[in-house]
Structure 1
Amino acid sequence: MNTNKQFVQIKKQINKLGMVTDSSHNYRTSLLSLLREAVPFDAACCTHVDPQTLLSTGAVTEDNVERIHPYLFQIEYGEDDVNSYEQMVHNKRLVATIYEATVQQPEQSARYRKVLTPAGFGDELRAVLILGEICWGYLTLYRNADQSEFLQEECDWITSLVPLIAARMRAFSLELPEREETWDDDLYGSGIAVLSDHLALLSSNPAADRWLDKLRSLEMIDAHVLPRPIRAVSTQAFNSPSESSGIAKVCIRMYEGPYLVVRASRLRSSDSQIQVAISFEPARPSDMLPIIAEAYGLTEREQQLLHGVIRGLSTKELASSLHISAYTVQDHLKSIFSKSGVSSRRELIWYLHSRYNIIEI
Structure 2
Amino acid sequence: MTALSAERVRGQIDALAVAGLDWETFGHTAMDTLRRAMPFAASCFASVDPSTHIVTANVKSGCLDDDHDIAWSFHEYEVEDVYDFRTLSSGAHGPVTLHGRTDGDPRRSRRYEELFGPVWDFSDELRATLRVDGVVWGGVALFHGDGRTFTAAEQAFVGSISEGLARGLRSGLVAAVVGDDGRPQLSGPAVLVVDAAGEVAQANLSAAERLADLGCADLGAAQLPQIVKALVAAGRRMSTMPGAATPRARLRTASGRWVVAHASPLVSRHGGAPDVVVTIDDARPPEIIPLVVASYGLTGRERDVVAQVLQGVDTADIAKSLHLSAYTVQDHLKKVFTKVGVRSRRELIARVFNDHYLPQMENGAGLAPSGWFAAS
TM-score scaled to structure 2, two decimals? Answer: 0.77
Structure 1 residues 21 and 292, CA gap change in structure 2 (3 angstroms): closer
1:328 aligns with 2:321: yes
Deviation at 1:169, TM superposition (A): 0.2
1:356 aligns with 2:356: yes
**2:28 counterpart residue number:** 29
Choose the corresponding residue for 2:223, options 222, 225, 236: 225
3-state SS, counterpart of residue 247 of structure 2: strand
1:132 aligns with 2:147: no
Conservation of the 8 A alpha-carbon contact between 2:81 and 2:111 = yes
* Structure 2 gap ranges (5+): 361-371
Deviation at 1:12, TM superposition (A): 3.7
Structure 1 residues 304 and 27, CA gap change in structure 2 (3 angstroms): closer
Structure 1 residues 337 and 193, CA gap change in structure 2 (3 angstroms): farther
Conservation of the 8 A alpha-carbon contact between 1:95 and 1:125 = yes
Structure 1 residues 266 and 223, CA gap change in structure 2 (3 angstroms): closer
Deviation at 1:326, TM superposition (A): 10
Count of aligned pairs: 344
3-state SS, counterpart of residue 83 of structure 2: coil
Conservation of the 8 A alpha-carbon contact between 2:127 and 2:142 = yes
3-state SS, counterpart of residue 81 of structure 2: coil
Conservation of the 8 A alpha-carbon contact between 2:17 and 2:26 = yes
* Structure 1 gap ranges (5+): 320-324
* 1:252-331 to 2 correspondences below 5 Å: 252-268=251-267, 274-294=274-294, 295=296, 297=298, 299=300, 306=307, 327-328=320-321
The aligned amino acid for 2:154 is E
3-state SS, counterpart of residue 116 of structure 1: helix
The aligned amino acid for 1:282 is D
TM-score scaled to structure 1, two decimals? Answer: 0.80
Q: CA separation in 2, counterparts of 1:301 and 1:347?
A: 16
Conservation of the 8 A alpha-carbon contact between 2:284 and 2:373 = no
1:213 aligns with 2:212: yes
Q: CA separation in 2, counterparts of 1:75 and 1:189?
A: 32
CA offset digits 1:235-257 (Å, max 9, x no partner):
11111134136621111123444
**1:141 counterpart residue number:** 142
Cα RMSD (Å): 3.7
**1:100 counterpart residue number:** 100
Q: CA separation in 2, counterparts of 1:302 and 1:66?
A: 37
Deviation at 1:133, TM superposition (A): 0.5
* 99-108 or 326-335: bigger deviation: 326-335
The aligned amino acid for 2:189 is S
Structure with greater contact order relative to length (CA < 8 Å, sep ≥ 6)? 2
State the identity %.
22
The aligned amino acid for 2:298 is G
**2:368 counterpart residue number:** none
Deviation at 1:304, TM superposition (A): 11
The aligned amino acid for 1:138 is G
Q: CA separation in 2, counterparts of 1:188 and 1:152?
A: 52
Structure 1 residues 292 and 68, CA gap change in structure 2 (3 angstroms): closer
| Ranges of 4+ aligned residues in structure 1 off by more than 6 Å | 335-338, 340-344, 346-351
**2:168 counterpart residue number:** 168
